[in-house]
Amino acid sequence: MTDGDAQQRRGLSGRLPLVGDLRRLEYAPRLFLVFVAINVVSWQNIIGPVMVLLARHIRMPEFFVGMLLSFLPFTSLLILVTVHLIRRMGPKRVMLMAWFWRNVICCGIFLLPLAMRYEGPPVAWALMLAAIFGFSLMRALGAGGWLPWLHEIVPSDSRATYFSAETALTQLINVGIMLAQAALLYRFGPGILQFLFIYVVGISMGFFSLLMLRRIPGGAAYPAVSDQPHSHSYAAAFRDRLFRGYMLAAALGISATVWFSSTAVMFLRDAVGAHDSITMAVSAASAAAILLTIGRWGKVADRVGSGRAMARTLAAHSMLAVVIPLEMGFGMSGLASAAVVVVAASVFNAAFNVAANRGMLNRVPDENRVGYTAAWTVATSLALGVTPLLSGGLINLLGRPGYAVCFVLSALFGVAAVMLCRPFITPDRRETPRDADDALEVPPLPQPTAEGSA
């Protein structure tokens, strides 16, 4: 290879988004991205769509499936009370401890075959609920150290590059994992041993991620910036009328998307009759569609403002949500049309979340980042946690018509959120991007970075 060829290849790699971003990052952020990659593999093989498919395979009622989906957002509220623990012990020590125990607790899921054989499905349901709850609890205790650690090791002028690389890497891995799971379930069938093999991969990668976590520099304890109780700053955020209205609009919008997403996997499997491998293939297609479009939606939000972007994406999501109930009403529902709707809805779901989080960060005042982001955590966690419980309960109560009701409620909640977005369509002084370089105490959002997209 000539020097000219080598330079041409380096130039081409620099123009590829993920490769170029990795080349621009320093050693410590690159190590953290390696940890992220391993962690996403673990996450998708434990808490991704495969969790819902396993739950339905052991005949877990829809309401309990909704409970499984609600554990993560509800336990995320613990982030609010772990700030002092992270400051005293340091993000690295807290994450190592929590990541180790979340994998240990999740090993209980390997007792499912024994529970099904000797005790019956109800005991197996309780075992799976306990394992996923323990995983979610430990994850919440450690997740509070994720963003403070990143804040320490990623220079301020490299943060946009880092998060761009992390998003692209996460979605690429999501697509690969879901396609691999689809191939496994298609080749060997959706049996309990096949599902548990997927969990073996997920938990093994979880333990392996600890080795990489130990190699990442930084993450030491740091002193308190202020002695003011955090509860005072939380209350100030809820007293802010403008920010309170924005949180209500965003929470309704999040609930609208969760009405759809928490129903979609069960609808494909149980109502349409799709093979589990097909359901995983649809999930992979959704991740790929998000990967290909999310960058454009971020630019749209920058150009037209968060409020307008939120309203547009929610309006599109609501129109898609009513397609499936209409098809069910006319007896035309089928796998192909349902799959197209699910993939398209996932794109607008992700786009809405990009706009909503952008608008939130740009409306947070510099002097009270802790309180405002904590209030946002509470509002969004409640929307993310309550909605799956309600959707699972409705499906469990109504049967097949319950799916149509959930999709209609997704559309209605979306329309209500669009109306509430109207005051925020015109950008104002509160949506001017703010610098967060000194935000050492900002608690992360309910779904920290890579795990959120997983």
Q: Could you tell me which of 292, 281, 442, 427 has the C-alpha nearest to residue 367?
A: 442
Cβ distance 259 to 410 under 8 Å?
Answer: yes
pLDDT band at residue 170 under the 50/70/90 scheme: confident
Distance CA 209, CA 362 (A): 33
Which of 26-40, 227-241, 313-327, 409-423 is predicted least confidently?
227-241
pLDDT given for residue 441 in this prediction: 36
Average pLDDT over residues 135-151: 86
The span from the CA of 85 to the CA of 433, in Å, is: 30
Q: For the segment 9-19, what is each residue's pLDDT rounded down to a tens digit?
A: 444 444 445 66
How high is the pLDDT of residue 20?
A: 64
pLDDT digits (tens, 9 = 90+) for 90-114: 889 999 999 999 999 999 999 999 9
3-state DSSP helix/strand/coil percent for the chain, to nearest 5? 85, 0, 15
Residue 234: the pLDDT is: 65
The segment with the largest mean pLDDT, out of 127-131, 233-237, 352-356, is 127-131
Mapping DSSP to helix (H, G, I), strand (E, B) and coil, where does residue 412 land? Answer: helix
pLDDT digit string, tens, across residues 21-75: 677 788 888 999 999 999 999 999 999 999 999 999 999 999 999 999 999 999 9
The structure tokens listed for 332 are 């035309």
Residue 452 has pLDDT above 70, yes or no: no
- Select from 443, 20, 38, 94 the least CA-distant residue to 212: 38
Mean pLDDT of the 217-239 span: 68
What domains are defined for the chain?
Answer: 25-221+231-453 (1.20.1250.20)
**Where does the pLDDT of residue 160 fall: very low under 50, low under 70, confident under 90, or very high at 90 and above?**
low
| 227, pLDDT greater than 70 | no
